[in-house]
Amino acid sequence: MYVSRQSKLANIVYAAELAKRYPKIKSVSVHPGGVKTDLTTTISLSHKILIAIIFFFMGVSMMEIEQGRLSQVWVAAGARKEQLLNGGYYMPIGRLSNDRLDKTARSERLAEELWAYTQDALAKF
């Protein structure tokens, strides 16, 4: 679960930094919600309970796989460009949720460090 949280954080932070550096490109991050995939159905009972508690407080419910893609589809095809906040964080479905981000996810320093790290990693190829 730790790696999953890191990748979600990176998506949020990177989208915000991309929006800042290239404001003409609409860049957002999307939380798909809790989706009943092998990542959530094959974990231990204690992890399932922990996830259920976290999702309860986040206002997120578990969805079937077919529903899990709806947030991304909404952003890509359903929302009008002017509806989207550049650098915004959206939860299911189409709910701007920047107010739910913690201090780490809003960190401009972290965003700049992640950007620099990515640029350095890509320069090696």
Which pairing describes strands 95-96 and 89-91: parallel, antiparallel, or unpaired?
A: antiparallel
pTM equals 0.80
The rounded distance, in Å, linking the Cα atoms of 78 and 46 is 37
> Which regions of the chain does DSSP assign to beta strands (E)?
29-30, 34-35, 62-63, 89-91, 95-96
pLDDT number for residue 35? 85
What are the residue ranges spanned by the domains of the chain?
2-32+69-123
Calculate mean pLDDT across residues 58-71.
83
pLDDT per residue over 26-38, tens digit each?
A: 999 998 878 888 8
pLDDT number for residue 4? 59
Higher pLDDT among residues 17 and 49, named by residue? 17
